[in-house]
Amino acid sequence: MMDKQTSKNLVKDAFHNNNEVEWLQFPYKISDVDEKINLELLKDFTGERTGFIQVGPKKWFFPNAFKKTLEIYYNFQPRPTDVWIVTFPRSGTTWAQELLWLLSNDLNYEKASQIPLDARFPFLEFSSFVHPDVKEEFLNENRHSDEKCALINEVTAPAWKILAETTERRFIKTHLPFQLLPPNLLKIGCKVIYVARNPKDVAVSFYHLNRLFRTQGYTNDFPKYWYYFKNGLQPWTPYWAHIEEGWETRHEENLLFMFYEDMLKDLQCCLRKVATFLGVKYSNQEYEKLQEHLKFENFKNNKSVNAELLKDLGILKGDEEGFVRKGKSGGWRNYFIGELKKDADIWIEDNLKKTGIQFPTENLYNN
């Protein structure tokens, strides 16, 4: 069995930095979730088979595989030419990825249509969510197709390794909080975009995503899901700690902080703001064409961005709402009813006071 040092050296080789950058020891304690809570989580989330962990004083929550990979993500080497998008899940990430990639690539719609967004803009930590037993199930279900098995191996391969080896300009998606990302990310010169979205809509959208992805496999109802979300028992939570990190870095030179609600309200303005941040410029006509490309009706039917491949491979359930779902704000009103709404309102109000974050969302509390 490979020892830890040998494994670490192999990772360094992949990062091409053996003699250039010091390998940083991961600075935060990793603890298993309380046994009773863990059993409850494993019952409700069938995509994880081993258990869950919490990391550092903020208690960032992840499946067990992150015990082995958090140090790798922390030591991942950003490049000055990179474009990163950092978000809490379901905050308009996919929408922002597509507009970022197009603005950075001369609005090359043809290439964007030919290459899935996941390949153009890899998800740094996705492989850590694919439990080996679940991957084996995917491969077994597709065993009659060598092509599909090869695709399963491809989409579940460690993105950090692929990104470390690529020589082209890199576009990187992550939901990791800044605390767990490379310490030099905002200093090396690459462009980083952080998108935030109001917590009620995030919770509802994340609930549906956890039902959709078999790697998550959530089987219970929304009130139970809200309990997990609110109490930091969902991957990438606690929500407020994540958003606060983005908010506190909003004045950094190489970071652009945006609200999803502002993108919905005036996408044209946001496109120009992002273009300025990236150092590119387009004509009014080109911005209008991009806005049309990103309209929800067109976006939802765009096979390059709506995870059709994952559905075809059986990684997504066929009887749940799609990966690109509603594309609007305020859908939470159908889920937060009665006491659940009162609970959420108190939780949000308390945390807004603590963090000072100012969401642009109208009627965040009112029906």
pLDDT in tens, 101-136: 999 999 999 999 999 999 999 999 999 999 999 999
pLDDT in tens, 132-177: 999 999 999 999 999 999 999 999 999 999 999 999 999 999 999 9
Mean pLDDT of 312-328: 64
The angle that helices 339-355 and 199-212 make with each other, rounded to 10 degrees, is: 120
pLDDT reported for residue 323:
44
Output the CATH code of domain 78-355.
3.40.50.300
The angle that helices 284-294 and 267-278 make with each other, rounded to 10 degrees, is: 120
Of 197-201, 238-242, 297-301, the range with the highest mean pLDDT is: 238-242
Does the pTM surpass 0.75? The reply is yes
Cα–Cα distance measured from residue 158 to residue 188, given in angstroms and rounded to the nearest whole number: 23
Cα–Cα distance measured from residue 190 to residue 170, given in angstroms and rounded to the nearest whole number: 10
pLDDT in tens, 234-287: 999 999 999 999 999 999 999 999 999 999 999 999 999 999 999 999 999 999
Distances (CA, A) of 221 to 23, 82, 226, 320, 332: 43, 39, 9, 13, 14
Give the CB-side neighbour count of residue 283, counting CA atoms within 13 A. Answer: 3
